[in-house]
Homo-oligomer: A and B are copies of this chain.
Amino acid sequence: MSKEYDRRIGRHAVLYAFAEEGEEASLTNGFARMNWRYGKGKVGAMELQKIVAAIETSAKRQGVVNPDIYREMHALYHAILEAMHGVTRGQIELGGLLRTVGLRFAVVRGRPFENDNEGEWIAVALYGTIGAPVRGFEHEAIGLGINHI
């Protein structure tokens, strides 16, 4: 592969999570040129397991991971938990601490290293708000998890 590719998979995943509909083409065109897989979605919940499930389901449906291979789901799961650390900042817990989130998530899978032996990696980016279950009583939060897959 040539050097002209920008392989910063984490940065890409965050920008993809930031992007509104209609602003995504430059990112997804780049992913396509590099033969990377990608998907995104939205989820709001006070139960953390719903966040995990929503991201896993979305990544399966959009073909970013193979749902029949535990190895792939294991890599994705740990990337999700690592990203949730950035969102929750201290303890991966939502409703139990009386807080809720509204998140956009992006999952990107590709080859971030020049060396082909490094194989594929997966990045999970989360962006949205966290706060009390009261409208407007919330601030932004972000998280990024990266794992080999």
Contacts and interface: CB of A to CB of B under 8 A. Distances in A.
A125 B90 CA distance: 17
Contacts of A119: 71
Contact of A142 (B118, B131, B144): B144
Given A11-B18, A117-B69, A136-B70, A85 B96 contact: no
Interface residues of A, number: 64
Contacts of A88: 85
Contacts of A125: 142
A32 interface: no
A145 interface: yes
Residue with the highest number of chain B CB atoms closer than 10 Å, among A18, A88, A136, A139? A139
A85 B70 CA distance: 23
